[in-house]
A and B are shown apart, each in its own frame.
Chain A
Amino acid sequence: MSKVSLENVCKNFGNVEAVSCFYLDVEDKEFLVLLGPSGCGKSTTLRMIAGLEELTEGNIYIGDKLVNDMPPRDRDIAMVFQDYALYPHMTVYHNMAFGLKLRKFPRTEIEQRVKEAADILGIQDLLERKPRELSGGQRQRVAVGRAIVRKPAVFLFDEPLSNLDAKLRGQMRAELSKLHDQLKTTIIYVTHDQVEAMTMGTKIVIMNEGIIHQVGSPMEIYDYPVNKFVGGFIGSPGMNFLSAKIVSEKSRLYVDTGGFQLLIPSKKNSFLESKTDQEVILGIRPEHIQDAVFTDETSITDSFKAVVEVVETLGAEVQLNVVSGEHDLIARVDPRTKAARHQEIELAVNMEKIHIFETEPPNERVKTEE
């Protein structure tokens, strides 16, 4: 019973529109990630749900209760802050017990809950320490612990991993996913890190400049970005964008980048015929450009020639920065490649995975499949 609904919610700071009006339903037990670059309004949205920020318009429901004017303490939520916000003068135990104590829980119950949470997080030995005696990762755990002892209907996370180093972040990602399985409650999680979003989220909300661009599962968003922003934001390194034109020759459709032409698979023709002779933006993910020598036989590919500028050997793959005509592209190719700097190479594009975007903002994706 911990569905969260945002109806026509918006937020202005003075005359500045921080979050444009939107509708969003967070289902029970969902791990929803609000993802976007900094300043996109994702934290503001989270803080409105928490009750730390007033709505300019709209309604927020937690469960079935309208919570617009409810102070945070009555909303049945818990929050993990970016800087953890642990009370520096209290021990770990008291940090975790504080919320329960204020709610007048009996002592034994508090002790039991804190112990439970400490067991889950593996911080049983730290309970008597003060926050300043803990490492970053341990503080992070305490902050999470403080949230879970409350057994709230909804957990809110505000960029909780951004102060950790890369290795620890990876570890905590796995632990938070596990925790979500264990606790079976709704989580709303704000981050600017697409890896966190893709690995943990069951549903991702992509925001930019106060506008929600897309809501969907991680794979939906990766495979079918609704527009150029989403396509470019998800995936690392980012999608290659080339200004191009759809041309028709002998009843076959090509996408022409000026320097090279790529044959569009015939099953996409019906969707793109109307675009013939129009300017578009071609989007190709680096992993869909291969060294032509090592292409995967099962997919429909077409190839073009380019000159290699940089070769970055990453072990499992090789990343190439290439130039073809006026276009700079990045490709992630098979490590067996013989590519060398300043040499020409033939690259094969997986044509089933290409994206065509409109040239006019908001650069929507042209539908090319059912």
Chain B
Amino acid sequence: MVTIASTVNGRSSPGILSRLKSRRYAAYWMVLPLVILIAGLVVYPFVYSVYLSFENKAETKFVGLKNYKRLLNYKTFWLVTGNSFRFTLTAVFFKATLGLILALILNNLPFGGQRIWRGVSLIPWVMPLALSSMGWWWIFEPTHSAINWIIVQFGGTPKPWLSDPFWARVSCIVTNIWFGTPFFMIMYLAGLKSIPESLYEAAQIDGARALQRFRYVTFPMLSKLIGITVMFSTIVTFANFDIVRILTRGGPRYTTHLFGTYAFNIGIESGHLPRGSAVALFMFPVLGLAAFFILRNIARGEE
């Protein structure tokens, strides 16, 4: 017995060592493509865009912060900035609220119905946004299309949906709410499912009515998830491109541009890549802040 054991040990211990060593090598090889991809296609272009934003239009001369200074002096830039924030805050607020209501409704349904209607409610989010935005574009068409027809039927005056600054902004936000509400719903619904049923029963016995159960059990149990989802959505909404590009192309008179579409307009369409870069980079602080909050929240959840 003893001799057999020692031979087994004698044979296997260098094996284990070499395997541990090989584990590290295996790990490096496996993670290499990912590193190359992120370094080469995310980090490098990002750094490059910072560099680019310091150049002149012909990209022949280093001009320092001139592009940024110019932008800060443009009225249009401030219009875009204001609109980006307005768009993001309004859309995220409505998506978060409607998503919560919808999730609560769906959570009440019996299993079969819940599964079906959850699926149906996801369609807006599943459809490629560029394509569904074309549908909305047609809906907002002023003369022959749906919304104004309904308004007229109810005795209202038709609205110039996409050619009036106010209504054009509303249109873009509505489209974004349509697209993003299902995402909130699906996150909240999963969150609701993770709340143990016995908590509600305990609350019922403690004397809580439906609204109180929502206020004292559901909402506090969801609050962290709500925070994370809102921040996620803030990133995606703030960097949105498809909706505005298709509905209004930033018009009328730059009133609906977001950072993304404005950067496209200046960088690609007007051919001023450095200044376009500068516009896009103005998004970075907001995105960074949102990501910071998400990471802090997730890290807190793991402790």
**Binding stretch for chain B, among A71-79, A230-238, A289-297, A314-322:** A71-79
Complex-state Cα separation, A77 to B216, whole angstroms: 20
Docked-complex contact B199 and A85, CB < 8 angstroms: yes
Docked-complex contact A102 and B204, CB < 8 angstroms: no
**Is B212 engaged at the interface, CB distance under 8 Å to the other chain?**
yes
- Give the residues in chain A near B223, CB-CB below 8 Å: 89
Q: Report B194-232 residues with CB < 8 Å from chain A CB.
A: 196, 198-199, 201-209, 212, 216-217, 220-221, 223
Q: Report B34-73 residues with CB < 8 Å from chain A CB.
A: none
Name the distance in Å between A90's Cβ and chain B's nearest Cβ.
8
Docked-complex contact B205 and A102, CB < 8 angstroms: no
Complex-state Cα separation, A218 to B270, whole angstroms: 90
Chain B minimum-CB-distance residue to A52 = B201
- Give the residues in chain B near A51, CB-CB below 8 Å: 204-205
**Is A175 engaged at the interface, CB distance under 8 Å to the other chain?**
no
**Is A229 engaged at the interface, CB distance under 8 Å to the other chain?**
no
- Give the residues in chain A near B202, CB-CB below 8 Å: 79, 81, 85-87, 146
**Is A136 engaged at the interface, CB distance under 8 Å to the other chain?**
no
Complex-state Cα separation, A109 to B203, whole angstroms: 20
Docked-complex contact B204 and A72, CB < 8 angstroms: yes
Docked-complex contact A73 and B201, CB < 8 angstroms: no
Docked-complex contact B216 and A85, CB < 8 angstroms: no
Docked-complex contact A85 and B207, CB < 8 angstroms: no
Contact A85 B201, CB 8 Å, known A99-B207, A102-B206 = yes
Complex-state Cα separation, A88 to B208, whole angstroms: 16
Docked-complex contact B206 and A83, CB < 8 angstroms: no
Decide if the interface of chain A is mainly helix, strand, loop or mixed: loop
Complex-state Cα separation, A73 to B202, whole angstroms: 10
Chain B minimum-CB-distance residue to A80 = B202
Complex-state Cα separation, A156 to B180, whole angstroms: 45
Chain B minimum-CB-distance residue to A78 = B205
Complex-state Cα separation, A71 to B208, whole angstroms: 10
Docked-complex contact A89 and B208, CB < 8 angstroms: no
Name the distance in Å between B63's Cβ and chain A's nearest Cβ.
53
Complex-state Cα separation, A68 to B217, whole angstroms: 26
Docked-complex contact B208 and A73, CB < 8 angstroms: yes
Complex-state Cα separation, A52 to B198, whole angstroms: 10
Contact A72 B205, CB 8 Å, known A88-B221, A89-B221, A98-B216 = yes
Complex-state Cα separation, A51 to B201, whole angstroms: 10
Which of B196, B198, B199, B212 contacts A102, CB < 8 Å?
A: B212
Chain A minimum-CB-distance residue to B204 = A72
Q: Which of B196, B198, B202, B223 has the most CB of A within 10 A?
A: B202
Digitize A95-107: 1 where CB-to-B-CB distance is under 8 Å, 0 elsewhere: 0001100110000
- Give the residues in chain A near B198, CB-CB below 8 Å: 81-83, 85
Docked-complex contact B196 and A83, CB < 8 angstroms: yes
Complex-state Cα separation, A19 to B212, whole angstroms: 32
- Give the residues in chain A near B205, CB-CB below 8 Å: 50-52, 72-73, 77-79, 99
Docked-complex contact B206 and A73, CB < 8 angstroms: yes
- Give the residues in chain B near A89, CB-CB below 8 Å: 220-221, 223
Docked-complex contact A102 and B201, CB < 8 angstroms: no
Name the distance in Å between A131's Cβ and chain B's nearest Cβ.
11
Name the distance in Å between A56's Cβ and chain B's nearest Cβ.
19
Name the distance in Å between B206's Cβ and chain A's nearest Cβ.
4
- Give the residues in chain B near A87, CB-CB below 8 Å: 199, 202-203, 216-217, 220
Complex-state Cα separation, A77 to B205, whole angstroms: 7
- Give the residues in chain A near B212, CB-CB below 8 Å: 102
Complex-state Cα separation, A361 to B33, whole angstroms: 69
Docked-complex contact A99 and B221, CB < 8 angstroms: no
Chain B minimum-CB-distance residue to A147 = B205
- Give the residues in chain B near A52, CB-CB below 8 Å: 201, 204-205
Complex-state Cα separation, A266 to B9, whole angstroms: 70
- Give the residues in chain A near B208, CB-CB below 8 Å: 73, 98, 102
Which of A81, A82, A86, A102 contacts B207, CB < 8 Å?
A: A102
- Give the residues in chain A near B221, CB-CB below 8 Å: 88-89
Complex-state Cα separation, A77 to B198, whole angstroms: 16
Chain A minimum-CB-distance residue to B220 = A89
Q: Report A25-61 residues with CB < 8 Å from chain B CB.
A: 50-52
Chain A minimum-CB-distance residue to B195 = A88
Complex-state Cα separation, A71 to B223, whole angstroms: 28
- Give the residues in chain A near B203, CB-CB below 8 Å: 87, 98
Complex-state Cα separation, A99 to B208, whole angstroms: 8
- Give the residues in chain B near A83, CB-CB below 8 Å: 196, 198
Name the distance in Å between B225's Cβ and chain A's nearest Cβ.
13
Chain B minimum-CB-distance residue to A75 = B205
Complex-state Cα separation, A247 to B133, whole angstroms: 91
Q: Report A164-203 residues with CB < 8 Å from chain B CB.
A: none
- Give the residues in chain B near A81, CB-CB below 8 Å: 198, 201-202
- Give the residues in chain B near A82, CB-CB below 8 Å: 198
Complex-state Cα separation, A87 to B217, whole angstroms: 7
- Give the residues in chain A near B206, CB-CB below 8 Å: 73, 98-99, 102, 146, 150
Docked-complex contact A73 and B204, CB < 8 angstroms: yes
Name the distance in Å between A87's Cβ and chain B's nearest Cβ.
7
- Give the residues in chain B near A146, CB-CB below 8 Å: 202, 206
Name the distance in Å between A240's Cβ and chain B's nearest Cβ.
40
Complex-state Cα separation, A51 to B221, whole angstroms: 24
Known: A82-B198, A98-B203. 15 other contacts (CB 8 A): A50-B201, A72-B201, A73-B204, A73-B205, A73-B206, A73-B208, A73-B209, A79-B201, A83-B198, A85-B199, A85-B201, A87-B199, A89-B220, A102-B208, A102-B212
Q: 13 interchain pairs (CB within 8 A)? A: A72-B201, A72-B204, A73-B204, A73-B206, A82-B198, A85-B196, A85-B202, A87-B202, A89-B223, A98-B203, A98-B216, A99-B206, A99-B207
Closest 9 CB pairs of A and B: A99-B206, A73-B207, A85-B198, A85-B202, A89-B220, A102-B207, A72-B205, A81-B198, A72-B204
